């Protein structure tokens, strides 16, 4: 009998993917919750404080708290003290290792859902745009997380621009 790919037997997914023998399902347990990838995106792009992430996303505070706690528990994000009992949220290595899928998703969204990208990713110091294999279009170097810079693109709205000026 032919085995279904990744153990998926065609049954409807339950509320969690616990019984899925698949690394995609395991990864989705972490990043598949509503808002989580957008929270990670904001942290990638330099927004680190709770209130700023909350303002950027317009997300309810209790949901943001729950999502951040989950990311901290999973070792994707770390909480760093900042001014008294306030905190900043930074990516761990495990979190930074999510940048290729995140950027690839962003490029996919740019390709199919917008003619004006809100953000443009560039090779730091070189200025080349990033290609779909995550290398620099200008110099051809493969790009790592720390090689990246970004700027607002033609699709960014004023609120988005203002959110980073405040950060």
Per the CB < 8 A criterion, the answer to whether 143 and 136 are in contact is yes
Nearer to Zn ion, 95 or 128 (CB): 128
Using CB under 5 A, which residues numbered 127 to 166 contact Zn ion? 128, 136, 138-139
Rounded to the nearest whole angstrom, what is the least distance from the CB of residue 134 to Zn ion in the complex?
12
Instruction: Detail the DSSP E strand segments found in 15-166.
Output: 77-81, 87-91, 119-123, 148-152
- Stated as kind and residue range, the H or E segment containing 2 is none
Per the CB < 8 A criterion, the answer to whether 30 and 76 are in contact is yes
Nearer to Zn ion, 70 or 138 (CB): 138
What x-and-dash track marks residues 92-131 binding Zn ion by CB under 5 A? -------------------------------x--x-x---
CA 56 to chain centroid, in Å, comes to 14
Applying CB under 5 A, which residues contact Zn ion? 123, 126, 128, 136, 138-139
């Amino acid at each position: 009998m032919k085995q279904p790919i990744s153990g998926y037997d065609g049954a409807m997914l339950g509320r969690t993917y616990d019984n899925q023998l698949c690394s995609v399902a395991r990864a989705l347990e972490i990043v598949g919750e509503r808002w989580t990838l957008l929270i990670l995106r904001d942290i990638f792009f330099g927004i680190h404080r709770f209130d700023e992430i909350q303002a950027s996303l317009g997300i309810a505070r209790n949901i943001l708290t729950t999502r951040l706690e989950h990311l901290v528990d999973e070792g994707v994000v770390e909480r760093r003290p900042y001014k008294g009992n306030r905190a900043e949220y930074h990516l761990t290595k495990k979190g930074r290792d999510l940048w290729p899928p995140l950027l690839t998703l962003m490029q996919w969204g740019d390709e199919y859902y917008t003619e004006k990208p809100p953000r443009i990713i560039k090779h730091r110091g070189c200025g080349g745009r990033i290609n779909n294999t995550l290398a620099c279009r200008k110099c051809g170097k493969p790009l790592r997380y720390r090689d990246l810079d970004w700027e607002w693109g033609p699709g960014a709205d004023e609120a988005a621009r203002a959110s980073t000026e405040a950060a």
